[in-house]
């Protein structure tokens, strides 16, 4: 090497050394004492060994803070680049909390804006690990910083539905940037260090932390016990996701008979409809090897959503859980369902719906919460789905739930019903009281109320039974076929295979038409 290159190589070595040191040895050690990995350690655990190629490492903060003190800013507090996970190309970024508490500077925002555009253009997933005190104060002194934040948010939104976007909240995230993890398709929060907050005073001690955003706001998909656990969960989640909206998720080696009949399914459902059961008992008996990757487990737990495989094919499950609030569809459950089904549709992942619900709850409380608005949103979303749609009606499909869960002429590809299925505008108990109130009043006077009520209820159940309604193929409540519960798994697998080349066109709309 010529001596004239020595100076340049020394500069490059100094930049790399500074980047590796981050905010300094003391700061790195403090991260470990807090039980946290450093920004580079997080990337190292996430991606395949030796695959990370950093970009933007020379970038520094060139703006003078309000106090006039110039602080070291290696990498502008963002470590980012491209790598592979299980040999799949991905874009990754990781906030470096040792650099000015991971605050988002002007150039860091521009770096992220470009990275998000690169991920979209190169059609690869983008995974971010966030640990940031919020926007740097210098940002608020001029428009260029806010322009950068606006650019990164716009790019992140533009590629929604194009590439999967996963966020890991491993530390604080406040202010404007707090919208980014929520805009992500999936958010994983470390229960010990993750904190998400837009601003203002907290009203409770747990506000902003993982359980708060899982149980209350519904903005958390998975809770992790540590940085390592969060990263492992992200890698597992990626196994169910495609590279982009034009590709299929990676196939799995089922190791499970596609024609397996499950005798135990005959014993899950109680004889009396007044009694409940846990829908997980059915899910684990029909999926490949009983595996189910559940999301938002503790948010609106009366509706269960998550990923699984059928015969090696990735699918999304949406299922009412009768064990929790009779599987009703209230506003939170509706939001949970709407977000998940739209993700499945964007990436053409089959939607398998397991139905057993008393539908939308009536009453003043729910009307005040906008139950109609939330239900209408589900109707709108389901009407636009073009992904494969398979519905299994297990027991009750009452009221509007019959429509939003794909039981009637919303045109799911297949509707299968167990022999126990009932379709009705509302629960038969309600109908008995509404229609036969005079007869019941007389029976109460005569002392044979239970006998009369039971007889009338039995008649209505017979009328609402799928065996009765399915006699008319064109009836409003149509099931394509009544199936033996033990055949649920093979029926789903065959249906998914038959829909491999399905094409469903929506009406052309202005927002999708490119000008000539």
- Chain centroid to Cα 5, Å, comes to 51
Residue 327 belongs to a domain: yes
Nearest by Cα to 421 from 469, 370, 382, 372: 469
Q: Are residues 289 and 221 located together in one domain of the fold?
A: no
Do both 313 and 199 map to the same domain?
Answer: no
Specify whether 112 is located in the same domain as 190.
Answer: yes
pLDDT, tens only, 280-313: 999 999 999 999 999 999 999 999 999 999 999 9
Range of the domain at 182: 8-62+72-238
pLDDT tens per residue, range 311-334:
999 999 999 999 999 899 999 999
Domain check: are 115 and 206 in the same one? yes
In whole angstroms, what is the distance from residue 111 CA to residue 106 CA? 9
Last residue of a domain, one of 238, 255, 272: 238
Confidence at residue 477, expressed as pLDDT on a 0 to 100 scale: 63
pLDDT in tens, 446-476: 888 888 887 887 887 888 888 887 777 766 5
What's the CA gap between 231 and 221, in Å, rounded?
14
The pLDDT, as a whole number, for residue 143 is 46
The number of residues in the chain equals: 516
The answer as to whether 309 is a domain residue is yes
The answer to whether residues 271 and 229 belong to one domain is no
Beta bridge partners of 353: 318, 391
Bridge partners of residue 173, in order along the sequence: 196
Token pair 């019959």 in the structure block, residue: 402
pTM: 0.92
Tell me whether residue 221 is in a domain. yes
515 belongs to a structural domain? no
**Residue 275 burial by CB count (10 A; 0-12/13-18/19+): exposed, middle or buried?**
exposed
CA distance 288 to 308: 7
Query: Where a domain ends, among 238, 271, 291?
Result: 238
- CA nearest neighbour of 495 among 395, 347, 343, 389: 389
As a whole number of angstroms, the distance between CA 284 and CA 262 comes to: 11
User: Do residues 303 and 385 share a domain?
Assistant: yes
303 closest CA partner among 331, 252, 337, 253: 337
Residues 222 and 272 in one domain: no
User: What CATH number is associated with residue 152?
Assistant: 3.90.226.10
* Residue 85, CA distances (Å) to 53, 101, 184 in order: 13, 28, 19
The three-class DSSP label of residue 116 is: helix
Domain match, 208 and 288 both: no
Torsions phi, psi for 223 (to 5 deg): -105, 130
Query: Quick one: 320 and 469 in the same domain?
Result: yes
Q: How far is CA 177 from each of CA 111, 133, 174, 323, rounded to the nearest angstrom?
A: 14, 10, 6, 38
Asked whether residue 288 is domain-assigned, the answer is yes
Pairing of the two strands 303-310 and 293-295: antiparallel
Nearest residue to 237 via CA among 87, 120, 127: 127
Q: For the packed helices 449-464 and 428-435, what is the interaxial angle rounded to 10 degrees?
A: 120
Q: Residue 138 falls within a domain, yes or no?
A: yes
The reported pLDDT for the residue numbered 472 is 77
Phi/psi of residue 144, nearest 5 degrees: -65, -35
CA distances in angstroms from 344 to 213, 229, 338, 430, listed in the order given: 22, 25, 10, 35
Blockwise average pLDDT, block size 10, the chain, 516 residues: 77 86 86 94 97 91 67 87 97 94 89 96 97 75 68 95 98 92 97 91 85 94 98 98 96 87 94 89 97 97 97 97 92 96 97 92 90 92 94 90 82 92 80 79 83 80 81 73 96 96 86 60
88 in the same domain as 164: yes
Nearest Cα residue to 240 out of 159, 342, 125:
125
Does residue 428 lie in a domain region? no
Query: What's the distance, CA 77 to chain centroid?
Result: 29
82 with 192, same domain: the answer is yes
CA pair distance 440, 452, nearest whole angstrom? 7
d(CA 355, CA 62) in angstroms, rounded, equals 57
Radius of gyration of the chain (CA): 27
Q: Is residue 439 part of a domain?
A: no
Q: Are residues 191 and 53 in the same domain?
A: yes
Domain count for the chain, please give it: 2
Which helix (H) or strand (E) element contains residue 50? none
Of 238, 254, 273, the last residue of a domain is 238
Maximum Cα interatomic distance, the chain, rounded to a whole number of Å:
111
Residue 60 · residue 44 · CB < 8 Å: no
């Amino acid at each position: 090497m010529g001596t004239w290159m020595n100076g340049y190589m020394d500069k490059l070595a100094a930049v790399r050394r500074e980047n590796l040191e981050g905010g300094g040895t003391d700061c790195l050690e403090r991260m470990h004492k807090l039980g946290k990995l450093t920004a580079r350690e997080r990337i190292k655990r996430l991606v395949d060994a030796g695959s990370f190629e950093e970009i933007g490492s020379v970038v520094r903060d060139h703006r003078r803070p309000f106090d006039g003190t110039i602080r070291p800013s290696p990498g502008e507090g963002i470590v980012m680049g491209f790598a592979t996970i299980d040999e799949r190309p991905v874009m990754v970024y990781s906030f470096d909390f040792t650099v000015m508490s991971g605050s988002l500077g002007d150039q860091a925002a521009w770096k992220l804006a470009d990275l998000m555009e690169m991920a979209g253009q190169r059609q690869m997933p983008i995974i971010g690990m966030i640990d940031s005190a919020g926007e740097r104060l210098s940002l608020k002194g001029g428009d260029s910083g806010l322009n950068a934040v606006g650019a990164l948010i716009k790019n992140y939104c533009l590629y929604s539905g194009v590439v999967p976007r996963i966020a890991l909240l491993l530390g604080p995230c406040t202010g404007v940037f707090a919208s980014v993890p929520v805009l992500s398709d999936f958010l994983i929060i470390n229960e010990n260090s993750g904190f998400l907050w837009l601003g203002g005073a907290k009203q409770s001690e747990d506000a902003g932390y993982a359980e708060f955003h899982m149980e209350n706001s519904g903005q958390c998909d998975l809770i992790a016990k540590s940085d390592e656990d969060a990263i492992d969960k992200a890698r597992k989640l990626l196994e169910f996701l495609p590279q982009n909206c034009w590709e299929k998720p990676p196939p799995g080696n089922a190791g499970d008979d596609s024609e397996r009949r499950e005798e135990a399914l005959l014993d899950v459902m109680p004889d009396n409809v007044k009694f409940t059961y846990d829908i997980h008992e059915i899910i684990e008996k029909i999926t490949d090897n009983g595996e189910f990757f559940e999301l938002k487990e503790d948010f609106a737990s009366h509706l269960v959503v998550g990923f699984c495989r059928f015969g090696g094919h990735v699918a999304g499950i949406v299922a009412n859980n009768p064990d929790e609030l009779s599987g009703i569809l209230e506003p939170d459950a509706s939001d949970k369902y709407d977000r998940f089904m739209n993700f499945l549709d964007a990436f053409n992942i089959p939607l398998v719906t397991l139905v057993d619900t008393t539908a939308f709850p009536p009453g003043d409380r729910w009307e005040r919460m906008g139950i109609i608005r939330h239900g209408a949103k589900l109707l709108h979303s389901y009407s636009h789905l073009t992904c494969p749609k398979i519905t299994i009606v297990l027991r009750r499909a009452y009221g509007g739930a019959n429509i939003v869960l794909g039981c009637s002429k919303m045109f799911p590809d297949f509707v299968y019903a167990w022999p126990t299925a009932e379709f009705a505008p509302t629960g038969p108990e309600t109908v008995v009281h509404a229609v036969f109130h005079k007869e019941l009043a007389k029976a109460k006077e005569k002392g044979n109320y239970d006998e009369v009520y039971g007889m009338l209820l039995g008649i209505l159940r017979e009328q609402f039974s799928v065996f009765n309604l399915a006699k008319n193929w064109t009836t409003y409540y149509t099931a394509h076929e009544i199936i033996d519960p033990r055949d649920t798994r093979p029926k789903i697998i065959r249906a998914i295979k038959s829909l491999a080349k399905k094409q469903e066109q929506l009406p052309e709309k202005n927002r999708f038409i490119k000008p000539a």
